[in-house]
Structures are given as C-alpha cells and as structure tokens.
Amino acid sequence: MFKLAKTLNQPGQGEASIGQVARAISWSFFGVRKGEDLERDAAKISPMQIIAAGLVGTAILHGAIFGAARYISGPQQYDTYEVNEVQELAQQQAGGPHLVQ
C-alpha cells in the first residue's frame, strides 16, 4: 500500500493497457498477487484507472452473480390452480363473488 502511495504522479504512470488494468483488478478480487507484479502495476497503473476498473469489475461481478441466481431459480410463474384458489379464498372472505373481479 505504501509503495503505491509513493508512486503517485510518477513518470510512466497511466501507460497501462486496458488488459493490464483488468488483469490487475481481477487478481485483486481474489486476493492473490505476487509482490513483483504489484510493483510493476503500481508503476504503470494510475489511481484513476484502478478506481474505474474496480467499479466496472464490481458491476460485472454483481451482474453475473445476480444473473446466475435468477437463471437457477427460474421464472416465477403461478399455476392456474394457485390463482383460482386465491380467488376463491378472497371470495369467501369478502362474502361472495360479486365483490371480487
């Protein structure tokens, strides 16, 4: 962390490609990174690139998790039997079919 702070506004910073920034951010999500790679990234990647890529990576990760959960749970459709049962119960509680549409 201190090495990153020391490299702020250094020459050559911000010259990293999108692929290098994406690779650094994806490895940081898993918490696995070699020390030499960290130093190389700190020299080439600017703090704004890290923040922007982190936000995009987080949005993609959350979208993938929510999308997978929605796919696994399937569409939420009601059976005709369940709908009719609820309507009949509502009619009984309301006192007759004339109050429920």
- Round the average pLDDT of the chain to a whole number and report it: 78
Question: What's the whole-model pTM score?
Answer: 0.56
Cα(59)–Cα(84) distance, rounded to whole angstroms?
Answer: 41
Rounded distance between C-alpha atoms, residue 90 and residue 84, angstroms: 10
DSSP category for residue 95: T
Mean pLDDT of 5-32: 74
User: Tell me: the pLDDT tens digits for 67-88?
Assistant: 999 888 877 666 666 777 888 8
User: According to the model, what pLDDT value does residue 78 have?
Assistant: 60
Please state, in angstroms and as integers, the Cα–Cα distance from residue 101 to each residue in 82, 89, 95, 97, following that order.
16, 13, 13, 8
pLDDT at 59: 95
pLDDT in tens, 38-64: 788 878 888 888 899 999 999 999 999
For residue 9, pLDDT beyond 60: no
